[in-house]
Amino acid sequence: MHIDILTVLPDLLTSPFEHSIMKRAQDKGLLTVKVHQLRQWAVNEYGQVDDYQYGGGAGMVMMCEPLANAIEELSKDRKFDEIIYLTPDGERLNQKIANSLS
């Protein structure tokens, strides 16, 4: 199994995959995990991947261009079975969904 993760904070995600069950699976060659810095697909030289909300208000929103560029470039190397985009308004990940994805 191969997992590509796109994030603006890759250092936060590398540690969980270097320990416990995930580490053992990688050592046995059953799993590979590649964490990508989303800013490498940014739309400007500053590495900007988020923008202000339309209509104002607090918070920022993720730009679609860096995500689309990253998925497009990574899809050239392999065909993905699933592309999962985590959003705060999405369906809650539970064991039933995890089982169906596995």
Domain boundaries in the chain?
Answer: 2-101
Closest C-alpha to 32, from 11, 60, 12, 4: 4
This prediction has a pTM of: 0.77
Taking the C-alpha atoms of residue 82 and residue 4, their distance in angstroms, rounded to an integer, is 11
| CATH assignment of 2-101, among 3.30.70.260, 3.30.470.20, 3.40.1280.10, 3.40.50.1970 | 3.40.1280.10
Q: Is 67 helix (H, G, I), strand (E, B) or coil?
A: helix
Encode pLDDT of 77-86 as tens digits.
Answer: 889 888 888 7
pLDDT at 28: 95
Encode pLDDT of 5-44 as tens digits.
Answer: 999 999 888 888 888 898 999 999 999 999 999 999 998 8
Encode pLDDT of 39-66 as tens digits.
Answer: 999 988 888 898 877 777 777 788 889 9
pLDDT at 42: 93
